Chain A
C-alpha cells in the first residue's frame, strides 16, 4: 500500500478532490487549463515536498509524498505535479533553489533536443546532464516547443536547444541511477494508481450496463477477465510500494533503490497491456469515446509505460545486470530486496 496518511498526502488528496473532479481532465483537454488546481498545489507548497529546508522546501517524508502522487494520478492530473516534484528534487540534489512555478525534466545533454514530459504546461525545464555531471534549469516558455503526436494529454514535447542559457546550473555527483530510481518509482506509483482507478470504473460499468437482460457483471466471462486484471492491479500496487519504500529507505543514496525501482517499472509496464485490454473490452465501444473517462487512465498508462524506456528495455537492462551476479546474490535480492550493484 502506498502511504496516503500524513499532511502532504492528505492535503494533495483534498485539493484534487475539490479542484479536479471528473469534468476537469475533459475541460483541460478542450484547452481550459485548470490554473486554480495548480495554484492551490503551489500555495500549499506541495511541489516543494522533496526540497530540503536549506533550499526553501520542507523536506517531507518520501512516503507520504508518494501518497500525494497517488492522489494526483487517481484524478488524472492535468497539471505537472509529479514532474515538478521530480524537477525540484533534482535541483535540490544539486544544491539549487527550486523552480519558480511548474517544471519538468529531461535526462540528456543539451544537444540537439530533449523529450519533455508535460512540456506544454511546464514553466521550467531541469536538465540532468550525465556527461558533464551537471544539473541546469531552463526557462521553458521561451523555448521552441514542438508538440509530438502524443499518446496522452500530458505527453511528450520536444525542447529544442539553440543557444539557450541556463537560469541556474551546478555540478553534481548525483549518479544517473539515482535519478532513474526516483523517476521510475514516481511513474510506478502513478501507473498503479491509474490502473486501480480504471479497474474501479470498469467494475462500476459492468454492474450498471445490461445486455441479454442482466448486468454484464453476471457473466462469468466478464468476471474472470476483471479478476485477472484485478490481480495485475494488486501486483502493480505492491511493486510500486516496494519501490517507494526503497526510495524512502535510501534517502541519502537513492541509487540503492535502483533495482526495486526497475523491478516496479518492469512488473507494471508488462501489466499495462494485461489491464487496459480487458478494461476496454468490458466497456465496449463506450470506452473508446472521448466523452467517457476511461481514456484518461488508459492513455496515460500507455504513455507512462514508455517513459524513460519501455518495459522491454528495462527487462533487458535488469537481466543483463543480474546475469553478472551469482544465483545466491539474485536469490538474496528476490527474498529481501537487498540488491547488489554490479
Chain B
C-alpha cells in the first residue's frame, strides 16, 4: 500500500535513518506510534488532519472542516486529495475534492455525498465527528485557476461535482472579484443543491456572478440544445466542468461541436464501479499494472489461473486459499472470494488470486 508521505520531510528523515543495520533503533513505525500517542495528528512523515467541525449541507451531503498538521503543503483551489480513514479496523481510501480555497487559518473543507455502497462516504455522513483524525495525501490535480485569473470564466457542475467548483468560486471571490463568472449548476431539486444558501448569498452580493440553478427533477437534464446554447454563450471563455460521467460527456460534445473543446478544464470523479459486482459469468478485463499486460478473466475462474493463461507467472502455493503466497494488491475493481462469495470492492485491498474471481474490470499490482 502506498503511504501518503510529505516528500520533503520524508526524504530527509528516511534518508538519515533508513539503514537496515540500525534496526530496530530506526523503526520509524514505532517512533510514529509513540509520537501519535501524545497527539493523534503528530507525525514525522504523514499528513494527519483532525476534524474540527461538521456541517450538514443537504440530507445526504456533509462537509468536514479539517485542521491538518504542519506537513500539509497547502493546496490550490480545485485540487483533490487522497483521504484515508480507519473504519472498523480497516483502512479505507478515497480521493475527494477540497471544497475550500486556501485559508489563512490553515483549515480545509471537504464535502462528501453519501453513497450507500461507499464505506468512507457513509462514515463521513453518519459517524464522523469533531476530534476524529484522518490521514491525507498530497493535494493534486489541474482543475485550478490560471495564476492570473481571466476576466470571464464559465463553470458547469452537476450533483456533487459542485465541490471543486465551489472552491474555485470562493477563491475567485477573494482573489479576483473583478472576474465575471457564469455558473450553471444542475441538481435534482432545490433541497439537493449543495451550498445553496451560500450560493444565493454570493449571487446577491457579487454582481459579476451569474448563477443559474437547473433543477433536473422539474425540468429534466440539460439537453443537447441547451448545452449548445451554453457553449455558444461561453465561446472562448475558460470553462470548468465537473460532474457525473454522462454529464461531462454531454458537455464535452457540445464544446467540441462549438470548436472550443480546448477551453474545457474538467475534473472526473472516480465513480463507484458497478454496484453489486456484475454477473458472475461475465468476462472482465484485467490490467496487470507492473507487467503491462491486459487479459480477459472469465467470471467463474480464479484470477490466478486466468493470469497464468495470459502467460503471467504470479507467485503461488496451495491454490486453495490457505498460504497467501499469491496475495496481490488490487488497485481497483471488484472481485469475489469464490469460497465465501464475499465481494472486495475497496481499492487497495489485498486479495488472494487463487480464490478470487473478477466481478468488474480490474487493475492488479502484478
To the question of whether A and B form a pair in one complex, the answer is no
Interface residues of B (CB under 8 A from A): none
